[in-house]
Amino acid sequence: MKNLLDSPYVVRFLTVFTLLITGSFLWAQNPGSNHGTKFEQLGETLPDPNIYRGPDGAPGPEYWQQRADYDIECTLDVDNLKLDGKELITYYNQSPHTLRYLWLQLDENEHSDLTDSHHADPSSLRNTMSEGALSRLEDIDRSKYGHKIESITDANGKPLKYIINQTMMRVDLPQPLKPGETFAFNVDWHYYITDRMNPYFRGRGGYEHFEEEDDYIFTITQWYPRLCVFSDVEGWQNKQFTGRGEFALTFGNFIVKMTVPEDHVVGSTGECLNYSTVLTPAQLKRWEQAKTAKEPIEIVTLDEAKATEKAKKATNTKTWIYKADNVRDFAWTASPKFVWDAMPHFTEDGRRVMAMSYYGKEAYPIYNRYSTKTVAHTLKTYSKYTIPYPYPVAISVEASNGMEYPMICFNYGRAEEDGTYTERAKYGAIGVIIHEVGHNYFPMIINSDERQWTWMDEGINTFLQFLTEQEFDNNYPSRRGPAYAITDYMKAEKDLLEPIMTNSENIVQFGPNAYAKPATALNILRETVMGRELFDYAFKEYSRRWAFKHPTPADFFRSMEDASAVDLDWFWRGWFYTTEAVDISLDSIQWYKVDLESDPETREVSYPVKRDKPYEHISKKRNREEGLEFSIEKDEELVDFYTEYKPWETADSVTMVKTELYAETLSKKEKTEKFGDKNYYELYFSNKGGLVMPVILEFTFEDGTTKVERLPAQVWRKNEDKFSRVFVTEKEVKAIRLDPFRETADIDESNNNWPVMEMPSRFQVFKSHKTEERPNPMQEAKAKGKVIRP
Ligand SMILES: [Zn+2]
Model confidence at 553: pLDDT above 60: yes
CA 322, CA 251: separation in Å to the nearest integer? 17
Interval between CA 342 and ligand 1 midpoint (Å): 23
* Whole-Å CA distances, 67 to 89, 180, 326: 10, 11, 9
User: How much is the pLDDT for 744?
Assistant: 96
Interval between CA 250 and ligand 1 midpoint (Å): 19
Model confidence at 748: pLDDT above 80: yes
Model confidence at 29: pLDDT above 60: no
Model confidence at 647: pLDDT above 80: no
Model confidence at 79: pLDDT above 60: yes
Interval between CA 206 and ligand 1 midpoint (Å): 18
The pLDDT tens digits for 175-231 are 999 999 999 999 999 999 999 998 888 779 999 999 999 999 999 999 999 999 999
Interval between CA 493 and ligand 1 midpoint (Å): 26
Model confidence at 21: pLDDT above 90: no
Q: Average pLDDT, stretch 290-309?
A: 97
User: How much is the pLDDT for 131?
Assistant: 83
Interval between CA 639 and ligand 1 midpoint (Å): 78
CA 550, CA 556: separation in Å to the nearest integer? 11
Picking from 138, 718, 229, the residue whose alpha carbon sits closest to that of residue 453 is: 229
The pLDDT tens digits for 518-527 are 999 999 999 9
Higher model confidence: residue 754 or residue 770?
A: 754
Model confidence at 5: pLDDT above 50: no
Interval between CA 505 and ligand 1 midpoint (Å): 16
DSSP structural state of residue 342: E
Interval between CA 411 and ligand 1 midpoint (Å): 11
Interval between CA 408 and ligand 1 midpoint (Å): 13
Interval between CA 222 and ligand 1 midpoint (Å): 16
Model confidence at 773: pLDDT above 70: no
User: How much is the pLDDT for 274?
Assistant: 98
Interval between CA 407 and ligand 1 midpoint (Å): 14
Strands 67-77 and 252-261: parallel
Strands 408-411 and 403-405: antiparallel
Beta bridge mates, 736 = 699, 754
Interval between CA 136 and ligand 1 midpoint (Å): 26
Model confidence at 27: pLDDT above 50: no
Interval between CA 443 and ligand 1 midpoint (Å): 9
Picking from 581, 589, 585, the residue whose alpha carbon sits closest to that of residue 750 is: 585
Lowest-pLDDT range, 60-69, 274-283, 311-320, 763-772? 763-772
User: How much is the pLDDT for 676?
Assistant: 83
Q: Average pLDDT, stretch 18-33?
A: 40
Picking from 512, 523, 391, 426, the residue whose alpha carbon sits closest to that of residue 468 is: 523
DSSP structural state of residue 285: H
Strand extents, DSSP E, 25-133: 67-77, 82-92, 99-105
Interval between CA 249 and ligand 1 midpoint (Å): 16
User: How would you class 506 by CB atoms within 10 Å of its CB: exposed for 0-12, middle for 13-18, buried for 19 or more?
Assistant: exposed
The pLDDT tens digits for 587-610 are 999 999 887 776 655 555 555 555
Model confidence at 347: pLDDT above 50: yes
| Cβ-Cβ contacts under 8 Å for 766 (sequence gap 6 or more) | none
User: How much is the pLDDT for 22?
Assistant: 35
The pLDDT tens digits for 429-449 are 999 999 999 999 999 999 999
The pLDDT tens digits for 386-439 are 999 999 999 999 999 999 999 999 999 999 999 999 999 999 999 999 999 999
Model confidence at 653: pLDDT above 80: no
Lowest-pLDDT range, 110-114, 283-287, 338-342, 769-773? 769-773
Interval between CA 326 and ligand 1 midpoint (Å): 21
Interval between CA 21 and ligand 1 midpoint (Å): 55
For residue 543, give the H/E element and its range: helix 532-546
Q: Average pLDDT, stretch 293-302?
A: 98
Model confidence at 762: pLDDT above 50: no
Q: Do 204 and 222 contact (CB within 8 A), yes or no?
A: yes
- If pLDDT is split at 50, 70 and 90, which confidence band does 776 have? confident
Beta bridge mates, 83 = 76, 191
Work out the mean pLDDT of the chain and round it to a whole number: 90
Interval between CA 436 and ligand 1 midpoint (Å): 6
Q: What is the DSSP string of 583-629?
A: -EEEEEEEEEEE--SSPPP--EEEEES--PPPPPPHHHHHHHHTTPP
* Whole-Å CA distances, 545 to 48, 420, 428: 19, 45, 32
Q: Average pLDDT, stretch 23-33?
A: 41
User: How much is the pLDDT for 15?
Assistant: 53
Lowest-pLDDT range, 20-34, 139-153, 624-638, 692-706? 20-34
User: How much is the pLDDT for 30?
Assistant: 42
Interval between CA 481 and ligand 1 midpoint (Å): 14
CA 9, CA 12: separation in Å to the nearest integer? 9
Strand extents, DSSP E, 65-177: 67-77, 82-92, 99-105, 148-154, 162-165, 168-177
CA 395, CA 240: separation in Å to the nearest integer? 29
Interval between CA 693 and ligand 1 midpoint (Å): 28
Interval between CA 480 and ligand 1 midpoint (Å): 12
Interval between CA 440 and ligand 1 midpoint (Å): 10
Interval between CA 265 and ligand 1 midpoint (Å): 26
Interval between CA 404 and ligand 1 midpoint (Å): 7
CA 114, CA 106: separation in Å to the nearest integer? 11
Model confidence at 304: pLDDT above 70: yes
Other residues' Cβ atoms within 10 Å of the Cβ of residue 450: 21
Model confidence at 586: pLDDT above 50: yes
Residue 507 has, within 13 A of its CA and on its CB side, a CA count of 22
Interval between CA 348 and ligand 1 midpoint (Å): 25
Interval between CA 502 and ligand 1 midpoint (Å): 17
Interval between CA 403 and ligand 1 midpoint (Å): 7
Lowest-pLDDT range, 73-82, 369-378, 471-480, 645-654? 645-654
